[in-house]
Amino acid sequence: MNYDLNKTQTILKDEAHRFLAKECPSDFVREMAEDETGYSKELWQKMAELDWMGVLIPEQYDGIGGNFLDLTVLLSEMGYSCLPGPFFSCVVLGGLTILEAGSDSQKTDVLPALSRGEQILSLAWVEQDGTYVPGGIKLAAILNGEEYILNGTKLFVPYAHVADTFICVARTGQTLEDKNAGLTLFLVNAKQQGIHIETLITMAGDRQCEVIFEDVHVSKDNILGQLDQGWPVLKKVLQMSAVAKCAEMIGGAQRTMDMAIPYVKGREQFGRPVGAFQAIQHHCANMLTYADTIKFMTYQAAWRISEGLPFEKEASMCKAWGSESYRKLVALAHQVIGGMGFMEEYDLQLYFKQAKAAEQMLGDADFHRELVAKEIGL
Amino acid sequence: MDFEFSPEEQKMLQEVRAFLKSEITPELKAESLAIGYCYGGQLGREFVRKFAANGWLVPNWPNEYGGLGASAMLTFAIKEELAYIMPLIFVAAHMAGPTILHFGSEEMKKQWLLPIARGEVEFALGYTEPWAGSDLSALTIEAVDQGDHFILNGQKTFNTHSHVADYHWLATITDPDAKRYQNMSMMIVDLKSPGITIRPLITMAGWQTNEVFYDDVVVPKENLVGEMNQGFYYLMAALDYERMFPMGGYRRLFDEIVQYAKETVVDGQPLSKDPLIRQKLAQLAIELEANNLIFYRLAHIIDEGKIPNYETSMQKLFATELAQRITNTGMDVLGLYGQLKKGSKWAALSGQVEHRYRWSVVETIYAGTSEIQRNIMALRGLKLPSK
């Protein structure tokens, strides 16, 4: 066993940390929460020049051919800075789905542009049920000659308003025998006629949209993977993306520690630093345990993905643990920082919101505990 | 990064597993249980010698002292394997021995390490006193220097194992006028020495710990460990290495609770289909995994040539609190049957759950309470001010 990042990963982490400290200070995060698009094209291009969009994309499609651990390192720094924008929806949700299910020609069409930062993807998955289970997909794709016609409404589609291409999860079949069959993934031009996008207003300031598909015509060639066999792909993408979400939590947890610990050392009450009181010390010790365990649970799952080993159990364990632990860590930070931490001008609020949003996305703790229960044979 | 054991490590762990499976008998388990999972009984001593003959008691010690020169990683993994089958606590090999290895004189190493590595002698910890629990610097037992020997007078308490062990690993005051932390020495005391009286204290988990009284007990000077008056530092350093807590015993109990939930039908369906039970058991599986990661992190730190710091406290704290959640959840899953003791008609899982439920209470107390662990994490790990 080895708990250390390798040299390349350490360099990537340090570089990403320095870059984002300069380019993504908390003022920028607040500004983007108010901005119409919710991200900066200029910063997006700079990130593309650093090859961040291509971190998982093989060299043959103009990426840098990194592995999932490299992505984890990068996302952790993005979480540290609360980076706003479509990186997660484009590179993780979109990129992973294409890598999993795309044909060579689909990959050639999409991935090089994604890698250059010229193509923004998003995954249009969840609907009104608000769940990540196959039964929640009602959006219908009906075959009409060489085309499918899509009708239905997607919700919580991240950064749909700036996407060039959607991967839309649609129902193409219905069988009573196999609940998991009958879903198909389609590549859809986001600017196409019949698509209506409305941005939802979220707690954390990230952009999630309602996307209505109204008689949207999509060629059969745009099917990603096999007809009716979309669920196994989605399930794998869900598990990998859940780990990626936890990678952001690693950074967010670290940033929260970096706010709280210096604060309790400096803040004096009753003639001494509040950090000298055991009540505060014990909260801080618990925060440290959350931070360390989120990190190792995530690295372990990410390592298994990188190595091509089975990872479903570890991924669900990590999302269930991370979701609750990160929220509890931030709650303790609020408690030890006191009133100032509740102020909009203090950065802790950004991480409070990030924590809850990350917890809810891609399956919360209850959802993943149920998957763990299945994995341990219950 | 790498989160699996190497093929060589896996091979050795297979061998350990096979050995334990064939050597650990119900009789041995019963004897061990009766003396608080310490070895020292007849069967226990026989087993430990066989186990130790493979170098498995102290794999990470150098070959010349009876070890295999193996990694801390493998050493931790072997402890975990043993704990899964039969949780045994080794004071001489895992607590006193490393201190001798780090701080003892050459003569002391030659005299003690090989017999310890072979499992031939066992120690009992002699730290706590009636007025020195969490605050070990408040000891009052005193060893007066008489030239070639010390004369000891005073009292220890909660010294588990001292009625079956051979020697006492004793923290004593050797300079009552010196400042705190600079007045304490460690020494090895033969528990058969005249003047030692042992009074049993029976725990609510059914096993025996003891009060130990010292009246003019003679201890040869060569039994002093390292330097005079440096004992407090040895003790603290040893705790960094040795406070880690193998969870094998509770992992096994958890596996048995899972099995019980799958096999027990209530109101027409197995307990394992109840969503609440599924959530609770899955949560424990997750926490066991988190513990596993911070357990082997300690080995990783040691193998990198560093001394674990706050990380040891974190794992001890996490593991022992998790142990209580496992036993409590086990009691919930078993319901009314949970309360039935081993030997009772209708007892489930041989009464193990209620036994471990009682047992696990002490684990967040001994070897440094949860509160002491959090203090250490805050002060040493996060460098928070002490005043």
Q: Are A244 and A355 found together in one domain? A: yes
Of A272, A297, A370, the CB nearest to B387: A272
B290 touches chain A (CB under 8 A): yes
B381 touches chain A (CB under 8 A): yes
In a domain, A106, yes or no: yes
State phi, psi for A224 to the nearest 5 degrees. -100, 115
- Say what angle helices A312-337 and A278-307 make with each other, to 10 degrees: 160
pLDDT-above-90 percentage for chain B: 89
Residue A43's nearest CA partner among A5, A76, A83, A81 is A83
A66 touches chain B (CB under 8 A): no
What's the average model confidence in pLDDT over A5-11? 96
Name every chain B residue with its beta carbon within 8 A of the beta carbon of A320. 282-283, 286
Number of domains in chain A: 3
State phi, psi for A310 to the nearest 5 degrees. -60, 135
For B135-192, how does the pLDDT look when each residue is reduced to its tens digit (9 = 90+)? 999 999 999 999 999 999 999 999 988 999 999 999 999 999 999 999 999 999 999 9
B203 touches chain A (CB under 8 A): no
Q: How many CB pairs under 8 A join A and B?
A: 141
B286 touches chain A (CB under 8 A): yes
- pLDDT band at residue B242 under the 50/70/90 scheme: low
In a domain, A323, yes or no: yes
Q: Are A251 and A366 found together in one domain? A: yes
Q: What is the CATH number of the domain that holds A195?
A: 2.40.110.10
For A239-249, how does the pLDDT look when each residue is reduced to its tens digit (9 = 90+)? 999 999 999 99
Residue A60: count other Cβ atoms within 10 Å of its Cβ. 12
Look up the CATH number of domain B7-89.
1.10.540.10
Of A1, A261, A288, the CB nearest to B2: A1
Contacts of B163 (CB under 8 A, 6+ apart): B198, B200, B208, B210
CB contact under 8 Å between A3 and B374, yes or no, is no
Give the separation between CA A170 and CA A178, rounded to whole angstroms: 16
Name every chain B residue with its beta carbon within 8 A of the beta carbon of A366. 279
For B265-297, how does the pLDDT look when each residue is reduced to its tens digit (9 = 90+)? 999 999 999 999 999 999 999 999 999 999 999
Domain residues for A260?
Answer: 232-375
For residue A8, the distance in angstroms to the closest alpha carbon of chain B comes to 12
Tokens in use for A30? Answer: 């607040």
Residues in B 244-273 with any Cβ partner in A closer than 8 A = 258, 261-262, 272-273
Give the separation between CA A161 and CA A200, rounded to whole angstroms: 10
The distance between the two most distant Cα atoms of chain A, rounded to a whole number of Å, is 80
The residue from A59, A87, A119 where one domain ends is: A119
Residue A21: count other Cβ atoms within 10 Å of its Cβ. 12
CB contact under 8 Å between B385 and A3, yes or no, is no
The distance between the two most distant Cα atoms of chain B, rounded to a whole number of Å, is 77
In a domain, A2, yes or no: no
- pLDDT band at residue B361 under the 50/70/90 scheme: very high
Q: Tokens 């290495």 appear where?
A: B241
For B89-128, how does the pLDDT look when each residue is reduced to its tens digit (9 = 90+)? 899 999 999 999 999 999 999 999 999 999 999 999 999 9
- pLDDT band at residue B35 under the 50/70/90 scheme: confident
Q: What is the model's pLDDT at position B241?
A: 66
Q: Are A221 and A284 found together in one domain? A: no
Superfamily (CATH H level) for B243-381? Butyryl-CoA Dehydrogenase, subunit A, domain 3 (1.20.140.10)
Q: Are A244 and A359 found together in one domain? A: yes
Q: Are A105 and A176 found together in one domain? A: no
Q: Are A239 and A353 found together in one domain? A: yes
- Residues B37-43: contacts with CB within 8 Å, 24+ apart? B37/B86, B37/B87, B37/B88, B37/B89, B37/B207, B38/B88, B38/B89, B38/B91, B38/B122, B38/B160, B38/B161, B38/B164, B38/B165, B39/B88, B39/B90, B39/B119, B39/B122, B40/B122, B40/B161, B40/B164, B40/B165, B41/B164
Name every chain A residue with its beta carbon within 8 A of the beta carbon of B10. none
Q: What is the mean pLDDT of chain A?
A: 97
Lowest mean pLDDT among A185-189, A296-300, B37-41, B132-136: B37-41
Residues in B 68-87 with any Cβ partner in A closer than 8 A = 73
Give the separation between CA A368 and CA A243, rounded to whole angstroms: 11
CB contact under 8 Å between B293 and A293, yes or no, is yes
Q: Are A244 and A215 found together in one domain? A: no
Residue B351 is given by DSSP the state: G
Q: What is the CATH number of the domain that holds A298?
A: 1.20.140.10
Q: Domain limits of chain B?
A: 7-89, 124-229, 243-381
- pLDDT band at residue A127 under the 50/70/90 scheme: very high
- Does position B72 have pLDDT exceeding 70, yes or no? yes
Q: What is the model's pLDDT at position A184?
A: 97
First to last CA, chain A: 29
A278 touches chain B (CB under 8 A): yes
Q: Are A241 and A368 found together in one domain? A: yes
Lowest mean pLDDT among A188-197, B64-73, B301-310: B301-310
In a domain, A11, yes or no: yes
Superfamily (CATH H level) for B124-229? Butyryl-CoA Dehydrogenase, subunit A, domain 2 (2.40.110.10)
Give the separation between CA A74 and CA A84, rounded to whole angstroms: 14
A308 touches chain B (CB under 8 A): no
Q: What is the model's pLDDT at position A176?
A: 67
Residue of A nearest to B279 (CA): A369
Q: Are A212 and A260 found together in one domain? A: no
The residue from A179, A206, A230 where one domain ends is: A230
- Does position B201 have pLDDT exceeding 70, yes or no? yes
CB contact under 8 Å between B5 and A1, yes or no, is yes
Give the separation between CA A349 and CA A342, rounded to whole angstroms: 7
- pLDDT band at residue B36 under the 50/70/90 scheme: confident
The residue from A208, A230, A252 where one domain ends is: A230
For residue B262, the distance in angstroms to the closest alpha carbon of chain A comes to 6
Residue of A nearest to B288 (CA): A317
For B342-360, how does the pLDDT look when each residue is reduced to its tens digit (9 = 90+)? 999 999 999 999 999 999 9
In a domain, A1, yes or no: no
Give the separation between CA B124 and CA B138, rounded to whole angstroms: 20
B341 touches chain A (CB under 8 A): no
For residue A374, the distance in angstroms to the closest alpha carbon of chain B comes to 9
Q: What is the model's pLDDT at position A79?
A: 98
A191 touches chain B (CB under 8 A): no
Chain centroid to Cα B151, Å, comes to 29
- pLDDT band at residue A344 under the 50/70/90 scheme: very high
Q: Are A151 and A214 in contact (CB under 8 A)?
A: yes
Beta bridge partners of A23: none
Q: Are A61 and A171 found together in one domain? A: no
What's the average model confidence in pLDDT over A55-67? 97
